[in-house]
Structures are given as C-alpha cells and as structure tokens.
Structure 1
C-alpha cells in the first residue's frame, strides 16, 4: 500500500521557498561577487518567477542583507570541516596556520570582503555584517582553541600568536587577491611558521632566517 506523505502547510512551503532563494543568493555571491548578484541573477538560478523572489524579498538590498547569514554559515561549516581533517601528530600551532590560511583564501572569505566594501556606504548591510562577523569570529576563535589543545591552550602566548596569525594572513590574502602571486604568499606563510616555532621555543632564534625544513613536529 502506498503511504501518502502529508501535504506541506503554507508556512512550510513559504519557508522552503525562502531558504531556496537565500541558498541561491549565497551561491551567486560566492561565484560572481556582490556587484553581479542581482535579483535577476538570483531569480534565474532559483528557477522561480521574479514575482515570487520579490514577494519574499521586495528589494535587492533586503535579499543581500538576508543572504549574509547564509554566507557566514557556509564559511563556518567549511571551517569546522577543515578543522576535523587536520592530521593528528602535527604541531597544533602550525596546524592553526594551515587552517587559517585555507579559510582566508576561500570563496567565502573573498565574498565577505566584497560585502565589507559594500557595507561602507550601506548602513543596513553594515549592521547585519557587524552582527554576523562577531558570530563568525567567536566561533572560529573557539575552534582555534579546540584545535590547539594542550600545552598551547593554557599558554597565554598562544592566543596572542593566533591573533597575529589571523591578522598577518588576512593582510596577505587581501594583497595577494590583487597580485595573484601564489609562490610569494606561500613563502611568507612558511616564514611565519618558522617564526612561530622560534617564539614558542621549538627552534633557536638564530634559526629564524634558516631556509632548512622545520622540525617534523612543526612542519
């Protein structure tokens, strides 16, 4: 006997359509950027009528403001997934550098940059972004501490070094976004890993400029 599924309520259909629109908007932001994410582009991607999209989000501004949460959720999900894939047995402070570098070179991060620039002249977007960026930073800091584990987690230097790592790699990623010089970027990351090894006492200070590989535990 065929069991018929219960019909979805109007509220459930509305919520499903809204979620579909936001997911497609986030995809468009990630792939095409803020400027190219128009109502028409989103409508085409969803396959819905333009009137349906505008029924849920009457203006482009409302659509993009709502979609910032989707973009942050995508970034956090990817970040958690990358954290779970970190290989065991490696120095955890060095692993945090790898984790941060992958996040700060991801489409979700570059989309965040796009939104930050747009928010400079859009007060409503800026208000939403401030809230969402607090959320993403809070969750990422929690994950960084979790990844670090002991003895780093209880070392007061570790939090400062993680902050320095994020700041340095953010600036490096933003600069490289224009220049596209991958080799130079990777060289800076390697030098910073060596500097961290010196700062936590894994390497002597005169090894800071040494070009030899890092110790196995910190490579």
Structure 2
C-alpha cells in the first residue's frame, strides 16, 4: 500500500513561492537588466498572480531587496558545494583560483552586477546592498581559507592574497564581459596563479618569467 504523501505546511508553501519569485527575479535581472525587472515581468516569468507576488513583495523595491539576499545566498551555497569537491594536493591554490573565477563569471554574479550598477545612484538600494555584500565577502573569505587548509589558513599573508585574487578576477570578469578573449583571459589567470605561488613563498620569483612550475606546499 503506497504511503500517503504528507501535506506541506503553510510555511513550506510560502518558502517555495518566495523562492520561485526570487528565482524569476534573478533570471530577469540577468536576461533583461535592472530597468526591465518589474513586478509585471517577474509575475509573467513566475506564472503567479500579481497579488501573490505583492503579498510577498508589496513593491518593486522590496522585490529587489529580496533578490539581493537571494543572490548572495545562491553564490555562497554554490561556492560551498564546489569547494567541498576540491582535493588536497599541490594544486589546491590553483583550484581555489578556479573556484573564484567560476563564481565571478556565473549567471548569479552577473545578475548581482545589475544591482551593483543600479545601487550607484539609488540610495535605498545601496543601503540594502552594502550589508549583504559584506555578508557575502565575509562568508567567501571564510570558505577560501577553509578550502585552502593548512599551511595556508594560518599564514598571515593569505587574507591579502585572497583580496588581491577577488579584486583582480572581478576586474577581469568585467573586462571580458563585453569583449571576451579566451586566450588573453586564460593567460592572465595562469600568470596570477604563478604570482600567488611566488607571493606565498611556494615558488622562486624567477618562475614568473620561466613558466608555470610546480606549485605546492
């Protein structure tokens, strides 16, 4: 005899609907941009009544603030899942650089970028975005350190090297967003991996000129 399926609670239904709305909002930000991400557009994408959307997010501003938290949570969850697959070994530092690069070229990042640009001139959006971005960066730094493990975690240089990596790769992602050049991009990534190894004391400085070398603890 089949086991009857348990009915979802009201809280579970609410969470599912909210996630559906925010997922549609993220898709709209990525595909249409900030200006076109309206309640009507999200309603159509989500396949929900306008009243349902506005029950969860009464205004467009509330919807976009909700999208900020949703995008941050999505990036943290995705990075944590991928970081768990990184294996120990001499290539761990390079693997973490690759993780950061995948995050900064993911659809979720580019959807968040739409909100960053809009927040430059929207004080209310900026006020909601800044604490969420601080939460994101704090979680990411913790994940980077945890993924690297020792001897990197206790190395006082690692925090700075992580900041350099995020800043460099963010700039590279933006630079290649409109005019992608796979060869130039891959060359920059390879050079930065070697530079990190030199800065961390894993390779002699000559490796920056001579080639990739072997990077390991």
Q: Which residue of 2 aligns with 1:181?
A: 181
Deviation at residue 115 of structure 1 after TM alignment: 0.6
Residues 72-83 of structure 1: pairs in structure 2 closer than 5 A: 72-83=72-83
Structure 1: distance between partners of 2:157 and 2:206: 20
TM-score (norm 2): 0.87
After alignment, is 50-59 or 106-115 more displaced? 50-59
Structure 2: distance between partners of 1:52 and 1:138: 34
Q: Which residue of 2 aligns with 1:25?
A: 25
Deviations 1:90-140, CA, capped at 9 Å, x for gaps = 333222211211111111111222111111122221111111101111110
Instruction: Tell me whether 1:93 sits opposite 2:75 in the alignment.
Output: no
Determine helix, strand or coil for the equivalent of 2:157. Answer: helix
CA spacing shift, 1:169–1:18, aligned 2, 3 Å: closer
Structure 1: distance between partners of 2:8 and 2:216: 57
Determine helix, strand or coil for the equivalent of 1:142. Answer: helix
Pairs aligned (count): 216
Determine helix, strand or coil for the equivalent of 1:170. Answer: helix
Instruction: Tell me whether 1:171 sits opposite 2:167 in the alignment.
Output: no
Structure 1: distance between partners of 2:90 and 2:34: 38
Tell me, yes or no, if the aligned pair for 1:71 and 1:108 is still in contact at 8 Å. yes
Q: Which residue of 2 aligns with 1:129?
A: 129
Deviation at residue 8 of structure 1 after TM alignment: 4.5
Structure 2: distance between partners of 1:167 and 1:68: 20
CA spacing shift, 1:193–1:50, aligned 2, 3 Å: same
Gaps of 5+ in 1: none
Structure 1: distance between partners of 2:160 and 2:215: 24
Structure 2: distance between partners of 1:173 and 1:60: 28
Gaps of 5+ in 2: none
TM-score (norm 1): 0.87
Q: Which residue of 2 aligns with 1:206?
A: 206
Structure 2: distance between partners of 1:169 and 1:6: 46
Tell me, yes or no, if the aligned pair for 2:97 and 2:165 is still in contact at 8 Å. yes
Q: Any runs of at least 4 consecutive aligned residues in structure 1 with deviations exceeding 6 A, and if so which? A: none
Deviation at residue 195 of structure 1 after TM alignment: 1.3
Q: CA RMSD in A?
A: 2.3
Tell me, yes or no, if the aligned pair for 1:92 and 1:149 is still in contact at 8 Å. no
